[in-house]
């Protein structure tokens, strides 16, 4: 059997969820969209269900998968509905639904529903992606209430730059949100992972942690809460071939790495078809039998090469960790010019093994 695998530590996942909730001192929807950032949405939801206040996914397709797997907890649809005919399913399965645009308010007003909805009205407080304009927010809120289709309306917004700890933009967005929603007595939800960890004074009844659940930091610098996260995924494989190269010989496609001395090279069963980033350059850290070493040359589809020269006792069959507890995914991402989100969502082909159920 090919030795490439992703080992998912569910104990670490539960630790990180608890850290998010305790840090925010708020209710927390565990964001498990995009197959729980590559960790497997059903397994992640099952591991968190007894502890979590609810879950958030992008769309109804993701939410239905969770209900079909028996998840009973609340599930928020972060993009709401795309077409009017989803509303019947939203009622049937008791999903919570973001309303990010006035066209969705129109659709809700005109819908015939068996029961009222749990709605999360989203304001564009400055990210300028989705959300109701601040000047139209109160009117949209009134329309939802007077439609009779809303059992509850939570007020939400999303920060564009909460990962930049010295940016003034998060406080500006908060001020816009607070002034536009003044006088509306409702629960609010503003904070994603970087805001949970880095912006403790932003008020919230509900927080929406995603990346931090998986133990990856959204910051490009050390941060006191992020430093207490536990990495959840360990991407592992083994050395399947070893060769000794004299100085001057190239390694891999394009010959982009040339041995600068006599070297021992290990070939690892892991490639970009598994989701290991092809952009990762020579020098990206890897762990071999517990020793730090480095990637050499270009990543291929199914294989990549690592430096065994100075790793004592290493050879055929050596254990390789591409990221995990010792090689932080944020470090791999930085080398590849990517972010941890992007790398994790891209995981493919490798079987996922769960520990700590």
Task: Provide the annotated binding site for substrate.
Answer: 129, 301
Give yes or no for residue 31 binding ligand PLP (CB under 6 A).
Answer: yes
Contact between 58 and 78 under an 8 Å Cβ cutoff? The reply is yes
Q: Looking at the DSSP assignment, which residues form a beta bridge with residue 295? A: 306
In this structure, the number of other CB atoms found within 10 A of the CB of residue 131 comes to 22
User: Please, what is the minimum distance in Å from the beta carbon of residue 31 to ligand PLP?
Assistant: 4
Indicate if 253 belongs to the active site.
Answer: yes
Cα separation, 115 vs 127, whole angstroms? 33
Structure tokens at 207: 């927080």
Give yes or no for residue 38 binding ligand PLP (CB under 6 A).
Answer: no
CA 75, 81, 83, 85 dihedral sign is: positive
Give yes or no for residue 149 binding ligand PLP (CB under 6 A).
Answer: no
Question: Which residue out of 17, 33, 272, 341 is catalytically annotated?
Answer: 33
Indicate if 272 belongs to the active site.
Answer: no
Q: Which of 5, 14, 208, 238 binds ligand PLP (CB under 6 A)?
A: 208
Q: What are phi and psi of 275, to 5 degrees?
A: 105, 0
User: Please, what is the minimum distance in Å from the beta carbon of residue 76 to ligand PLP?
Assistant: 9
Give yes or no for residue 100 binding ligand PLP (CB under 6 A).
Answer: no
Give yes or no for residue 226 binding ligand PLP (CB under 6 A).
Answer: no
Give yes or no for residue 218 binding ligand PLP (CB under 6 A).
Answer: yes
Contact between 126 and 173 under an 8 Å Cβ cutoff? The reply is yes
Q: Which of 40, 210, 271, 275 binds ligand PLP (CB under 6 A)?
A: 210
Residues contacting 179, CB < 8 A, separation 6+:
134
Give yes or no for residue 158 binding ligand PLP (CB under 6 A).
Answer: yes
Give yes or no for residue 78 binding ligand PLP (CB under 6 A).
Answer: yes
Cα separation, 238 vs 70, whole angstroms? 36
Q: Which stretch binds ligand PLP (CB under 6 A): 38-46, 170-178, 207-215, 320-328?
A: 207-215
Q: Which stretch binds ligand PLP (CB under 6 A): 45-53, 110-118, 205-213, 272-280?
A: 205-213
CA-based end-to-end distance of the chain? 24
SS3 9: strand
**What is the binding site for ligand PLP (CB under 6 A)?**
31, 33, 78, 158, 192-194, 208-211, 218
Give the catalytic positions in this structure: 33, 253
């Amino acid at each position: 059997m090919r030795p490439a695998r992703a080992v998912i530590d569910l104990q670490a996942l539960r630790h990180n969820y608890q850290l998010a909730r305790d840090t925010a001192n708020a209710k927390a929807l565990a964001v498990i969209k995009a197959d729980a950032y590559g960790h497997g949405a059903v397994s992640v939801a099952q591991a968190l269900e007894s502890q979590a206040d609810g879950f958030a996914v992008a769309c109804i397709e993701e939410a239905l998968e969770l209900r079909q797997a028996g998840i009973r907890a609340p599930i928020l649809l972060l993009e709401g509905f795309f077409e009017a005919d989803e509303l019947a399913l939203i009622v049937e399965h008791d999903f919570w639904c973001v309303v990010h645009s006035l066209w969705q308010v129109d659709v809700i007003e005109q819908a015939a529903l068996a029961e009222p909805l749990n709605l999360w009205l989203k304001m564009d407080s400055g990210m300028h992606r989705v959300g109701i304009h601040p000047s139209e927010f109160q009117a949209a809120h009134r329309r939802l209430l007077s439609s009779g289709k809303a059992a509850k309306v939570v007020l939400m917004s999303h920060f564009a730059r909460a990962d930049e700890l010295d940016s003034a933009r998060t406080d500006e967005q908060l001020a816009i949100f607070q002034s536009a929603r003044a006088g509306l007595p409702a629960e609010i939800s503003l904070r994603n992972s970087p805001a949970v960890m880095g912006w403790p004074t932003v008020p919230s009844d509900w927080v929406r942690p995603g990346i931090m659940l998986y133990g990856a930091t959204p910051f490009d610098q050390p941060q006191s809460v992020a430093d207490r996260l536990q990495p959840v995924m360990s991407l592992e494989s083994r050395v399947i071939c070893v060769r000794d190269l004299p100085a001057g010989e190239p390694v891999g496609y394009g010959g982009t790495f040339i041995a600068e001395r006599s070297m021992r090279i290990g070939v690892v069963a892991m490639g970009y078809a598994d989701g290991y980033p092809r952009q990762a350059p020579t020098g990206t850290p890897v762990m071999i039998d517990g020793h730090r070493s480095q990637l050499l040359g270009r990543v291929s589809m199914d294989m990549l090469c690592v430096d065994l020269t100075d790793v004592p006792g290493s050879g055929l069959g050596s254990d390789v960790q591409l990221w995990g507890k010792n090689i932080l995914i944020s470090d791999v991402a930085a080398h590849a010019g990517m972010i941890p989100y992007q790398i994790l969502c891209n995981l493919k082909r490798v079987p996922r093994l769960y520990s700590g159920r």
